[in-house]
Amino acid sequence: MRTLSRATIYCLRALIYVASRNEKDKYVSIGQISEELHISFHFLTKTFQTLTQQGLLTSHRGPQGGIMLNKPVEEIFLIDIVLMLEGQNFFDKCLLGLPGCGEAEPCPVHNFWKDVKGALKKEFEETSLADLAAGIANKTMRI
């Protein structure tokens, strides 16, 4: 079950890593994240750019530069990250990929899928970066 794109997955892993370091008001180097997590550096810069443009992160060039979360990890939710990277219409898509599907002209699985998406969205809305990072306290855990 492939739900998120690679870009989102990488970014999520990176943000969980950043959150777990819990260093406020300090830039974390993208290069360092890339090395620690074995994620393509250039791939990361691209996704971080998007999040910076959308206001979730602040970035800083030059030595001691990097990225920094703009809000406390308790106030950043999974849904924010996913919508910013996958697009605001992430939860609006039809299971069968039918372009015309909607409330006005629902496909056979429209209502079924609407419920499923609603439940998933609720989970994403209630799960913060702090929740996700909490699991990482255990050092043996791999991200």
Binding site for DNA (CB under 7 A): 5-7, 10, 27, 29-31, 40, 42-43, 45-46, 48-49, 52-53, 59-67
CA–CA dist 56, 59 (Å, integer): 10
Q: Please state the closest distance from residue 46 (CB atom) to DNA, in A.
A: 6
Cα Rg of the chain (Å, integer): 17
Q: Contact at 8 Å (CB) between 70 and 95?
A: no
Selected binder of its own copies within 43, 59, 109, 114 (CB under 8 A): 109
Selected binder of its own copies within 22, 38, 88, 105 (CB under 8 A): 105
For the record, the structure tokens of 125 come out as 């809305």
Q: Is 58 in the site for its own copies (CB under 8 A)?
A: no
Phi, psi of 40 (to 5 degrees): -50, 125
Q: Is 87 exposed, middle or buried (0-12, 13-18, 19+ CB in 10 A)?
A: exposed
Contact set with its own copies (CB under 8 A): 1-4, 6, 9, 12-13, 16, 86, 90-91, 93, 95-98, 100-101, 105-110, 112, 115-117, 119-120, 123, 127, 131-136, 140-143
